[in-house]
Amino acid sequence: MLDANDRMRPGLHFDEQGLAQFSVWAPKATFVEISLVDKKLRLPLTETAYGYWTIQTNQIKEGDLYQLILDRKTERPDPASLSQPEGVHGSSQALNLNDYSWTDTNWQNTALESYIIYELHTGTFTPEGTFAAIEDKLEHLKQLGITAIEIMPVAQFPGERNWGYDGVAPYAVQHSYGGALGLQHLVDRCHENGIAVILDVVYNHIGPEGNYFNDFGYYFTSKYNTPWGEALNFDDAYCDAVRSYFKQNALMWFKDFHIDALRLDAVHAIKDFSPVHILREIKIAVDQLNQETGRNHFLIAEVDLNDTRFIDPLAKQGYGMDAQWIDEFHHALRITAGEPATGYFADFKGISDLAKSYTDAYVYDGQYSPHRKKHFGVKAEENEGKQFVVFSQNHDQTGNRMLGERTSQLHTPEMQRLLAGAVLTAPYLPLLFMGEEWSETNPFQYFVSHTDPQLAEAVRKGRKKEFADFHLQGEAPDPMSMETFENSKLQWNLLEDPLHQNMFRYYQKLIHLRKHHPALSSLNRKQIEVTVDEQNNTLLVHRWQEERHVLCLMNFSSTNQEIQLPFLHKNWNILIFSGDSQWNGHLKIAENYTDQTMVVLPGQSLLILE
């Protein structure tokens, strides 16, 4: 990596004297200007080393709209724009991120092992769909017991409706959500309420509409193909500037927005055979920032390779990611709950795989995968529990269903409570998807708002093809339809209904147990034993911390099943029974247990004993 690139932060910034500093990597251009739209003024840039063009000027002021003009004819937004008030095709806007007056001076990031994550989509989390509206719901999240929110991508995308993974301005915060200032204010309020903030970022591709990167430089390479076309150029000729662009982006979220952790989307789609992988390079830079600031910032990867290189520490020549999502826990859990083994679920047998995930994290750690048609994965024996994020649903696993059904639409309330218990008693970091805590009944469907008709039609056809492997009948909701977007919004009024309020209180109880019982809050993977009964579809998870033990009994079948308690010289007290009348259940269970007791556990229920 060239030192010059590290010093060359892309985009427009203001120094302490209010002087504008601007840099853009445009090696394809022979002449570059900034056009100040309202002032009808063009300022030529100076070409420097390695294809960078720069300017320092007092003629650009905060709030000015500007365009870049390449070779005196091609007008484009700034590739590192901080604001796109006119959308992805319009002018960029000059912002000074240092203007915000932070109040979180004393904030210290929550310890990673204490993260209880709540994933949300800004546009559908509230009726207003803004950062400011999220602030109004922070008290709800505090009452629930959440310690970290994870915000789906906010990089500027086409229109006002999108999951966020089609962003084309990685440095600009979606204007319709509240822009950069709105995000800074939200993070400040979260910290005031003791809640950490994880931001989902996309470094594996750039969306299709408004993607002007190729006009400037060699951001993509034809060496590799990805599901989105040519791969971002992390290891081909001219890659130094591309690597610097994304590394500086990661640092910006931490430094200028006080984000606590980044969730890096689908890093298995990043193609990089450099001696130092781009993820490792980002981790080295973040570690240096941590030393300089005295604050901890985490990197959480979504990776579908069951390869511990991604989460192994730098000292072991790993990429140093602090944690990763593991979809396999989800897949095994949902098959155990009775869902069909179609599509990518086909590799999972059910409760035996779930039991393996509780102890081994990865279900596939070297075995043959029928779905992939090859042996797959490595063992994760030396990786800590806090390095894995588990869930019973998330944006992908809900929205990638043809109709976007949540577990509330697929399972009984009894099974929903059992699924929640399975996640929150695992020795990993739990993640909830917005609304599941009150059994939200609206779906979460895939939606976009492309302005290019051909692209919109291609998305529609792509969605239909995507579901072929699941052998589903009928039509997928139109991703371009406003109705699809509106149908995906949370119904906060459901909390006024006693049944939904009851589910919320159940989640509260489970999270409280998770946070305060030593055997559940400790994520020591060496202190867990799992007993599985495949025939009766039951699981007994034994966890302990010093002299404190818990037994988590789960019956995924629909009928009563017997589970033998282990011989531990203990008397057992009930911490929670999901079928109890206080959770609107009508199931009966014994009140006292001793060793050698044969517990008769009702169908679709969870019992936690201490």
Eight-state DSSP code of residue 214? H
Among all residues, which ones are annotated catalytic?
265, 302
Contact indicator for 462, 430 with CB cutoff of 8 Å: no
Helix (H) or strand (E) holding 281: helix 278-293
User: Known binder of ligand: residue 533?
Assistant: no
Region 498-510: mean pLDDT is 98
Which two three-digit tokens encode residue 264?
């890096």
Q: Determine the pLDDT at residue 453.
A: 83
Domain 3-97 and domain 513-609, same fold? Reply is: yes
Any binding-site annotation on 330?
A: yes
Q: Is residue 5 very low, low, confident or very high in pLDDT (cuts 50, 70, 90)?
A: very low
Instruction: Kindly report, residue by residue over 419-442, the tens digit of the pLDDT.
Output: 999 999 999 999 999 999 999 999
The predicted-structure confidence for 175-211, as pLDDT tens digits, reads as follows 999 999 999 999 999 999 999 999 999 999 999 999 9
397 marked as binding residue: yes
Phi first, then psi: what are they for 603, rounded to 5°?
A: -60, 150
pLDDT (tens digit per residue) in 150-172: 999 999 999 999 999 999 999 99
Beta bridge partners of 553: 540, 607
Specify the pLDDT at position 590: 83
In this prediction, what percent of the chain has a pLDDT beyond 90? Answer: 89
Q: What CA–CA distances, in Å, run from 520 to 4, 241, 546, 549?
A: 48, 45, 12, 9
The tens digit of pLDDT for each residue in 459-483 reads 777 776 666 655 456 788 999 999 9
User: Among 26-35, 246-255, 325-334, 340-349, which is the least confidently predicted range?
Assistant: 340-349
**Does 594 carry a binding-site annotation?**
no
Residue whose structure tokens are 């490792």: 280
Residues 578, 411 contacting (CB under 8 angstroms): no
263 is in an annotated binding site: yes
pLDDT at 7 over 70: no
Find tokens 């959308």 and name the residue: 87
Give kind and range of the element (H or E) at residue 155. Answer: strand 155-156
SS3 444: coil
Q: What pLDDT score does 6 carry? A: 47
Enumerate the domain spans of the chain: 3-97, 513-609
513-609 folds as: Immunoglobulin-like (2.60.40)
Q: Quote the strand ranges of 364-473, DSSP E.
A: 368-369, 374-375, 388-390, 429-433
How many CA atoms lie less than 13 Å away from 366 in the CB half-sphere? 5
Given this model, what pLDDT does residue 126 score?
98
**Which architecture, in CATH terms, is 3-97?**
Sandwich (2.60)
557: how many CB neighbours lie within 10 A of its CB?
19
